[in-house]
A and B are shown apart, each in its own frame.
Chain A
Amino acid sequence: MQYHAEVTIELKSGMLDPEGTTIKRALEHLGYQTESVATAKKYMIELDAESADSAKQMVDEMCQKLIANPIIHNYTIELGESK
């Protein structure tokens, strides 16, 4: 079965996000007041696996070994069957 995973990588809360801060300031220049702006990265992964559980486990391992840096990041995985 082919699965589609969307991995979202965010900085842990309270960590400095200079890109978010810069965007927040630019929004202020355009007249938009915001409480905060945070950035995140999204990775779309297509993979074959025997079950949804094993697909999720594989993607989780990918996050831990490479895609995220556990020192500074949190991540979430959304998994569905490929269309």
Chain B
Amino acid sequence: MKIAIIQFGGSNCDLDVLHVLQDVVGVDAELVWYKEEDLSQYDGAVIPGGFSYGDYLRAGAIAARTPIMDAIKKMASEGKPIMGICNGFQVLTESGLLDGALMTNKYPKFRCETTYLKVENTDTPFTSKFKKGEIVKIPIAHMEGNFYADKDTLARLNDNGQIVFKYSDKNGNVTDNVNPNGSQENIAGIIDPNRNVIGLMPHPERASEAILGSEDGIRMFQSMVDYIAKK
């Protein structure tokens, strides 16, 4: 089993994800530069956070149109698990693999802080090691995380159980007060209709070791590895 970590110019959480996968989860993973067009040797992929191409045009817009994204789309169509974190989530919405768009935060400020998330769906390759309704602690660090989708899309996301994480307080109350960016319905992470492509603004790789203050994030990577092993 081998997982690809996609590197664009301006990715900056790539090495953190590599460390977590290799040293904490203990799975084979490697960095793959965006010019690669063939990802067939990999069983899954992570698109890490950062500021690909300086967030020029729109966050994730340029990265979404690089050659490697055709290979990512091929992986997605084969049912392989793909996780986009923060800028990776923006890349996935810009590429059309996930619904909606990530707009500038309601209060246009870079928010870098711990957030609590409510796990809305555990029937995914990335959340099987969580309990439904569980509250997890995973930090955010972004200025364009305000999730927007039109009314019909939002209804479809709800009806299909595609909303995976919502911002909540530590008791699980999903309110405006704990919405860090103005996202519709406090959405922090969604999955595609086929349930193998997830995007989320919070950084699970920054919550994967006790020394970092939370180990909740590690279970996303463990769920992903488990899913690949069972396939």
B107-128 residues at the A interface, CB under 8 angstroms: 107-108
- Beyond A16-B182, A18-B108, whether A66 also contacts B101 by CB under 8 A is no
Smallest beta-carbon distance A7→chain B, Å = 12
Q: Which of A22, A65, A69 contacts B58 (CB 8 A)?
A: A69
- B174 interface residue, CB < 8 Å from A? no
Q: Which of A18, A19, A22, A69 contacts B101 (CB 8 A)?
A: A69
Q: Are A18 and B106 in contact (CB under 8 A)?
A: yes
**Interface membership of chain A positions 16-59, coded 1 if the CB is closer than 8 angstroms to chain B and 0 otherwise:** 10110010000000000000000000000000000000000000
B91-112 residues at the A interface, CB under 8 angstroms: 94, 100-101, 103-108
Instruction: Please indicate the chain A residues that have their CB under 8 angstroms from the CB of B227 in the complex.
Output: none
Smallest beta-carbon distance B67→chain A, Å = 15
Measured as residues with beta carbon below 8 angstroms from the partner, the interface class of chain A is 10 to 19
Instruction: Please indicate the chain A residues that have their CB under 8 angstroms from the CB of B103 in the complex.
Output: 15-16, 72
Q: Which of B3-11, B33-41, B142-150, B205-213 lies at the interface?
A: B142-150
Can you report 23 A-B residue pairs in the complex whose CB atoms are below 8 A from each other?
A: A15-B103, A15-B148, A16-B103, A16-B104, A16-B146, A16-B182, A18-B104, A18-B106, A18-B107, A19-B104, A65-B65, A66-B57, A66-B65, A67-B57, A69-B58, A69-B61, A69-B94, A69-B101, A71-B100, A71-B149, A72-B101, A72-B103, A72-B148
**B residues lining the A interface (CB < 8 Å):** 57-58, 61, 65, 94, 100-101, 103-108, 146, 148-150, 182
